[in-house]
A and B are shown apart, each in its own frame.
Chain A
Amino acid sequence: MKSLKIAALAAGVVALAAPAFADLVFPSMSYRTGPYAAGGIPYADGYQDYMTLINERDGGLGGEKLKVVECETGYNTQKGVECYESTKGQGALLYQPLSTGITYQLIPKVQSDQIPVLTMGYGRTSAANGAVFEYIFNFPANYWAGASGIVNHLLDINGGDIKGKSIALVYHNSAYGKEPIRTLEELSKKHGFTLTTLPVDHPGQEQKSQWLQIRRERPDYVLMWGWGVMNSVAIQEAANINFPMENFIGIWWSGSENDVRPAGAAANGYKAATFHNVGSDYPIFDDLKTYVFDKGLTAGAGDQVGTAIYNRGLYAAMMAVEGARKAQELAGHANITPQEMRDGLENLEITEALMDSLGMPNFGPSFKVSCGNHGGSGDVGIQQWDAASDTWKLISDFAPVDLEVIQPLIDADSAAYAAEAGITPRSCN
């Protein structure tokens, strides 16, 4: 009973120590070190550059400056926990950890601390069910949408019939890599293809045996859920066994310049799913140049501008800022709390007109978030690498995915989570 009193007292101390909120704080849980830095650096740069742009060009948001608190996680969950604990006291409005492992870590914590988390294209897919996951958002697309988007693309290029085709999935042997398996299994039943799964262990430099198996079995298509150094190794291995690159399709985390460049011309034709556009041919990059790069305020080395993952960081920051803008509008004051930020995200609507006005026309799909749907539209496009011009090209526009298959899976998985964690789903009417 003593510990009860102590616990109560300690809780009181913590509550008293809550700090005053000065700026709108957006922690950036980045990883510029370790085996996943190739993906972590451009993302963190893009995220920070967008925030700097808003501060420099618009003087912040509603008169409040945006403050990015960077914390290095090294893609390591323990350091992620440390980062979360050290930044949440500073008035953090929104976390975007860029790591599925850390996201799983944070999901229960943020629900009790009431701070929203946005996991764009990663994290726990069933968090799309906002009735159960009140503080978690994963718009505009998730892994299951990605899996379905890729299969849709395969249907497209095969005239709608992939019966009897064989598909191999090369995946990072972690929560992240395992996510699409269940969806792909359902889709294989529906469309009649055979699925082989080939796990690759962290950090992913060793893939000889997996590719030996692919060379032996010659699947028609290879899908990849990889991250960091695993991607470039896989593409190199595929090139080594002369696997036709146009039949090798990665998820968006396996679709950056850093992944394909090491293989040189051999990587030509490699495809990847994406939920945002590629390249730097948008008005916003002119503003970035004027207000950020030319003033010497660039985050990092500044050599990542316009790359696929830099754009994703930019896109993530845009969502954060628009969510905060909506929150300010709803709350009627500029100095919003994390709870108000959550409301803002839940009422977020990204339209063509909005993206136009932000200087990012057709940068991503247009979608609407709601109480029941935290996952957005889930529209997925396909990009292809052109080695000669050293650029990604969007070869199929953002198209709807097979929600008939995905929605029941989301409902089942979120219901299982709710039962396990003792959550009563709120009603969304």
Chain B
Amino acid sequence: MYYREAGDFKTSYRKDQQNFPIRFDRVHFWTMMVLAFAVIPFFINDYWANAVFVPFLIYAIATLGLNILTGYCGQVSLGSAGFMAVGAYASYKLMTSFPDLNFFVIVVLSGAITALVGTAFGLPSLRIKGFYLAVATLAAQFFLVWLFNKVPWFYNNSASGQISVPRRDMFGIAITGPEASAATKYLVCLAIVFVLGFIARNLTRGRIGRSWMAIRDMDFAAEIIGVDPLRAKLSAFAISSFFIGIAGSLFFTIYLGAVEVGEAFGIERSFLILFMVIIGGLGSIYGSFAGAAFLVLMPVLLKNALVGGLGWPSDVAAHLEFMIMGALIIFFLIVEPHGLARLWAVTKQKLRLWPFPY
């Protein structure tokens, strides 16, 4: 009744091509943005920021990045955490070498450096596909972690190999470091997510996105109709790594503040991001957010329900958490193998016909 295109007339191409062609979507999207930008910052505290919102937003960026590569371009990557590490260490080196550089410039530069590294590791994708490519990116993961552990230059020769973020201010407020307030951290991440989400959405429905999808669906057919696989694949690697690099940079500067590469950017993190993509839905922007939300929020929710709500011992709760998460993932994938995004698409389809389904 409320959710349909009928009666929502478009009088220009511009309107017809907008991101949310259905009024219902548009209204709710912008309401949510107003809530996120103008209401939540007033109520957020350290716990909500550091345990829920900031990790969710950062993982959403990483998931968007991997979704571009795996979901849209069909190139499996297990090196996401390694690329995040590149972003984090790039930020650290830039911040300590150029103390006066604006924080957002650092974030974008870290993304750009990661894009270069990602493109280099994307080169084998021109030769190999599928599982073999997964193994090549796995090599990237292990190589990068090893590199940041091995070469003291990357962590400025500190005794422990840890990198800690220095404090950076903007307009007189601390953005990074311990003095940064919950609201600032949240808003910085949210603003970056907003911009990157916008870029991802419009890239994927434009010419570049279509060339990626053509490659994904059948690479030699795409080549025959004139898609250059070199450019398509490498641009997917570059843009995906750019996103993941920014996620890594924020993961270090805003979220954790101090990291050691093996622990923060290990292979588990790569798998976590891949699971977010799979559970959210391959080749979907909405799915990237849904998948990140599911895997970040559920453990926190479960922990609070079991330990805080029911008063169970923390170790029992921790073990149960694993089991429940596993069961939920299997349940969702059985009910909807194409992820949460597909579940949402089905719901939308049903909404369009409601209340007169046929």
- Using a CB–CB distance below 8 Å, which chain A residues touch chain B? 1, 3-4, 6-7, 9-11, 13-14, 17, 30, 32-33, 70-72, 74, 76-78, 81-82, 85-86, 88-89, 100-101, 104-105, 107-109, 111-113, 124-126, 173-176, 178-179, 181-182, 199, 201-202, 409, 413, 416, 420-422
B84 at the interface (CB under 8 A from A): no
Nearest opposing residue in chain A for B180, CB measure: A7
- Asked whether any CB of chain A lies closer than 8 Å to the CB of B347, the reply is no
Contact residues of A: prevailing secondary structure: helix
Name B's interface SS: helix
Q: A10-B182, A101-B263, A109-B178 are in contact. Are A72 and B315 (CB under 8 A)?
A: yes
A4-B171 in contact (CB<8A): yes
- Alpha-carbon distance A422/B42, docked complex (angstroms): 29
Whether the Cβ atoms of B160 and A85 lie closer than 8 Å is no
B41 / chain A contacts, CB cutoff of 8 Å: 3, 6-7, 10
The answer, yes or no, to whether B19 is at the interface (CB within 8 Å) is no
Known contacts A111-B178, A178-B160: A104-B44 contact under CB 8 Å:
no
| Most chain A CB inside 10 Å of its own CB: which residue of B46, B166, B255, B256 | B46
B229 at the interface (CB under 8 A from A): no
Q: Which residue of B lies closest to A100 (CB)?
A: B160
B253 to chain A, nearest CB (A): 12
Q: What's the tally of chain B residues with a CB closer than 8 Å to chain A?
A: 50
B16 within 8 A of A: no
Contact of B55 among A70, A78, A124, A201 (CB under 8 A): A78
Which single residue of chain B is at the shortest CB-CB distance from A199? B149
| 10 A–B pairs (Cβ distance < 8 Å), ordered by A | A3-B173, A4-B172, A7-B41, A85-B47, A101-B260, A101-B263, A108-B178, A124-B160, A173-B262, A176-B160
Q: Are B159 and A11 in contact (CB under 8 A)?
A: no
Q: Are B173 and A422 in contact (CB under 8 A)?
A: no
User: B183 and A7: CB pair below 8 A?
Assistant: yes
- Chain A residue nearest to B166 (CB atoms) is A420
CB distance from B327 to the nearest CB of A (A): 17
Give the docked Cα–Cα distance between A276 and B256 (Å).
33
- Check if A3 sits within 8 Å of B161, measured CB to CB: no
Cα distance, A1 to B182, chains bound together (Å): 16
The answer to whether A174 and B263 have CB atoms under 8 Å apart is: yes
Q: A85 and B258 in contact (CB under 8 A), knowing A10-B42, A33-B315?
A: no
- CB closest chain-B residue, reference A77: B263
The residues of B that contact A179 with a CB separation of less than 8 Å are 159-160
Besides A86-B47, A174-B260, A202-B266, 20 other CB < 8 A contacts? A4-B171, A7-B183, A9-B183, A10-B42, A10-B45, A14-B45, A14-B182, A33-B315, A70-B313, A77-B259, A78-B55, A82-B51, A101-B162, A107-B258, A113-B178, A173-B262, A174-B161, A178-B159, A409-B159, A416-B158
Interface readout for B40-77 with A: 1 if CB under 8 Å, 0 if not? 01111111001100010000000000000000000000
Q: Cα distance A88–B50 when bound, in Å?
A: 13
Please name all residues of chain A whose beta carbon is closer than 8 Å to the beta carbon of B45 when the two chains form the complex. 10, 13-14, 17, 89
Q: What are the 10 closest A-B residue pairs judged by CB atoms, nearest first? A: A32-B315, A10-B183, A175-B160, A108-B178, A72-B314, A112-B178, A82-B51, A85-B47, A72-B318, A104-B258
The answer on a CB contact under 8 Å between A6 and B258 is no
CA distance A202 to B262 in the complex (A): 7
- B317: Cβ under 8 A from any A Cβ: yes
B96 at interface, CB cutoff 8 A: yes
Judging by beta carbons under 8 Å apart, are A7 and B50 in contact?
Answer: no
Is the beta-carbon distance between B183 and A3 smaller than 8 angstroms?
yes
Taking a contact as CB atoms under 8 Å apart, the answer to whether A1 and B260 are in contact is: no
Contact with A along B169-203 (1 / 0, CB 8 A): 00111000111011110010000000000000000
Contacts of B47 in A (CB 8 A): 85-86, 89
A13 to B183, CA, bound (A): 11
A416 to B271, CA, bound (A): 36
Q: Is the CB of B264 within 8 A of A173?
A: no
Q: If A72-B318, A86-B51 touch, does A178 touch B161 (CB 8 Å cutoff)? A: yes
Are B167 and A422 in contact, with the CB atoms below 8 A?
yes
Q: Which residues of B contact A (CB under 8 A)?
A: 41-47, 50-51, 55, 96, 149, 158-162, 164, 166-167, 171-173, 177-179, 181-184, 187, 255-260, 262-264, 266, 300, 303, 307, 313-315, 317-319
Residues of B within 8 A of A409 (CB): 159
In the complex, the answer to whether B181 meets A11 with C-beta atoms within 8 Å is yes
* Pair B256/A78 contact, Cβ less than 8 Å: yes
Taking a contact as CB atoms under 8 Å apart, the answer to whether A6 and B55 are in contact is no
- CB B49 to nearest CB in A, in angstroms, measures 8
The answer to whether B256 touches A77, judged by C-beta atoms less than 8 angstroms apart, is: yes
- Residue ID in chain A nearest B179 by CB atoms: A112
**What are the residues of chain A within 8 A of B159 when measuring CB–CB?**
125-126, 178-179, 181-182, 409, 413
Least CB separation from B317: chain A residue: A72
List B contacts of A108 (CB < 8 A).
164, 177-178, 257-258
**B275 shortest CB reach to chain A, Å:** 16
Q: What's the Cα separation between A121 and B123 when bound, in Å?
A: 47
Contact A10 B164, CB 8 Å, known A82-B50, A85-B50:
no
Most buried by A among B166, B178, B266: B178
A10 pairs with B166, CB closer than 8 A: no
Residues of A near B96 (CB, < 8 A) are 420
Q: In the complex, A71→B47 CA distance in Å?
A: 14
Q: What A residues does B319 contact at CB under 8 A?
A: 33
> How many angstroms between the C-alpha atoms of A33 and B173 in the bound complex?
39
Given the interface pairs A104-B162, A175-B161, the reply to whether A13 lies near B266 with Cβ below 8 Å is no
